[in-house]
Amino acid sequence: MESLNQNDKEYLLDQIRDVKDFPKPGIVFKDITTLLNNQKAFAFLMDHLHRRYKELEIDFVAGIDSRGFIFGAALADRLNKGFVPIRKAGKLPYTTISQKYALEYGFDEVEIHIDAFKGDKEEPKVLLIDDLIATGGTAVAAAKLINQAGAKCVEACMILNLSFLDGKKELEKITSVYSLLDVK
């Protein structure tokens, strides 16, 4: 499957703004809104993802609340596949299943509809997508949730990987991971 070359990676990284001390002092937030509002850069990214995944036999694209919805819905449309939102607890209107994950101080939870992967296949293949992986808690929970729902998470696509944290390694214990841009 296709990967980006170094020049393409640098081009995309140049479209992402660093915001210091957000959401709290000492954190450098990777703001993707500057990538999203650049039509040329966003189209370049989506063209790449379409080329990478058009031959992969997937049935659904699942995006993690909330920025994963942007990339996931756009990619699902290009691939002519269904899109499934993975939401924070209490946000979906129908019967859900959930997966908890640990935070620094406590726990959080993600959910999907119990019939999210309804279709004619016994074990639908799902591509999971989000904007960023840090410690991996949310992404690992989302991948587990996909599998718990009777589907198979065949790959997780993360636009940014904070490689100084171990999230990607944790997620690789569950599924294959493609990160476009590694940030050190």
Provide the whole-model pTM: 0.96
Letter for the amino acid at 71? F
Using the predicted structure, report yes or no on whether residue 184 has a pLDDT greater than 90.
Answer: no
Tokens of 168: 């990607």
Residues with Cβ within 8 Å of 79's Cβ and at least 6 positions away in sequence, in order, are 50, 53, 54, 58, 61
- The domains of the chain, with CATH numbers, are 57-183 (3.40.50.2020)
Name the band, by pLDDT with cuts 50, 70 and 90, for residue 119.
confident
CA distance 36 to 71: 9
CA distance 145 to 152: 10
- Residue 32 has a pLDDT of 97
